[in-house]
Amino acid sequence: MLSYIGKRILSLIPVLFVVSCVVFLVVYLIPGGPATALLGMEATPEQIEALNTELGFNRPFFVQYADWFAGIFRGDWGESYFLHQSVLDAIAEYFKPTLSLAILAQLIALALSVPLGIIAAYRRGTVLDVAAVSVSLLGAALPGFLLSMFLMLFFGVYHQWFPVAGYASLTEGLGEHLKYLFVPALSLGIVQAAYITRMTRSSLLETLYKNYIRTARAKGLKEAKVVLRYALKNAAPAILTAVGQSFGSLITGTIVTETLFNIPGIGMLTIGSINRRDVFVIQGVVLFVTLLYVLVNLLVDIMYGFVDPRLQPGRK
């Protein structure tokens, strides 16, 4: 098991290297530099040139890349020109809201999707099933921003139960923190739930018709035990994959939801830094997001082994 994890972590290095190359190249090639963004619409070319020289953007490509790449290993991911802090500090700060939002959205998604998926599978072909499948299809088809706006209007404008946008950090109290995160998390959760519901339903359906389930029923076991312990457990790896993917996409920042609800998370940092041409932040964020995504996948792979020991790596 440990050697498996070790191998997987080692295999991350080429992935990250390639990503770092590509990102650096793309950022290098897009027109407009931080100097243009920093100095505003009517800056003279001389001023822009001077600032570029000062910031080191007039050096050859490979020199800039080598400089940046070496820095990564020293823990120096560069400085943000706009945020006046180091890239790592910025990522750490902007990651907190994203993490909170992702966890809350994932919990909502699970609370909605797993019961719904179980009901749909168990009552296959009934009105309940059709309803659950239709709702989840609707959830998958509805664009996230539209759903967000509906929820914002409903909870924020008509009923005024929640603020329409904004963010309060955990230091202001958990209640306040959740008050601001609930509506965006609900919007993300519903979209993610749609996918997980369908995965739960289909994988549970597969197991529900297996021989061992029939045997379990024949033994006279209670239905709940049959479904929740025997069937669901065997359907778990597929559900886990769906959950892993959904968590991976949530935790790497949701640009639209964060922008709409004004949550200063990784998504907002990404789009903001691209607009501001804050190059080290763009590079840092993309690298960080890649790292997160592969780590979440690794974690899911490892968890398979716990859910279903037959899938443990190295097991014959």
Site membership for other proteins, residue 38 (CB under 8 A): yes
Is the Cα torsion angle 129, 134, 140, 146 positive or negative in sign? negative
Site membership for other proteins, residue 171 (CB under 8 A): yes
Q: How far is the CB of 272 from other proteins (least distance, A)?
A: 6
Q: Where in 74-93 is the site for other proteins (CB under 8 A)?
A: 81-84
Where does this chain touch other proteins (CB under 8 A) — which range of 60-68, 161-169, 192-200, 294-302? Answer: 161-169
Q: Estimate to the nearest angstrom the gap between the alpha carbon of 117 and the chain centroid.
A: 22
**Token code pair at residue 164:** 């329409």
Site membership for other proteins, residue 39 (CB under 8 A): yes
Site membership for other proteins, residue 51 (CB under 8 A): yes
Q: Are 168 and 197 in contact (CB under 8 A)?
A: no
Residue from 215, 275, 299, 312 binding other proteins (CB under 8 A): 275
DSSP state of 231: I
Tokens 């600032």 found at: 51
Closest to other proteins by CB, 83 vs 289, is 83
Where does this chain touch other proteins (CB under 8 A) — which range of 16-24, 105-113, 194-202, 204-212? Answer: 105-113
The CA-to-CA distance between both ends of the chain, in Å, stands at 13
Here's the x/- map for other proteins, 110-149, by CB under 8 A: it reads as xx--xx--xx-----------------------------x
Site membership for other proteins, residue 165 (CB under 8 A): yes
Site membership for other proteins, residue 229 (CB under 8 A): no
Q: What is the enclosing helix (H) or strand (E) of 176?
A: helix 174-208
Angstrom distances, CA of residue 213 to CA of 43, 210, 227, 231, 300:
73, 6, 8, 7, 26
CA nearest neighbour of 267 among 279, 249, 280, 246? 249
Residue from 9, 49, 54, 233 binding other proteins (CB under 8 A): 54
C-alpha to C-alpha distance for 238 and 244, rounded to whole angstroms: 10
Q: How far is the CB of 170 from other proteins (least distance, A)?
A: 9
Tokens 């991976």 found at: 248
**Token code pair at residue 120:** 């749909």
Interacting residue ranges for other proteins, rule: CB under 8 A: 30-32, 36-45, 47, 50-51, 54-55, 81-84, 94, 104, 107-108, 110-111, 114-115, 118-119, 149, 152-153, 156-157, 160, 163-168, 171-178, 222-224, 227-228, 259-262, 264, 268-269, 272, 275-277
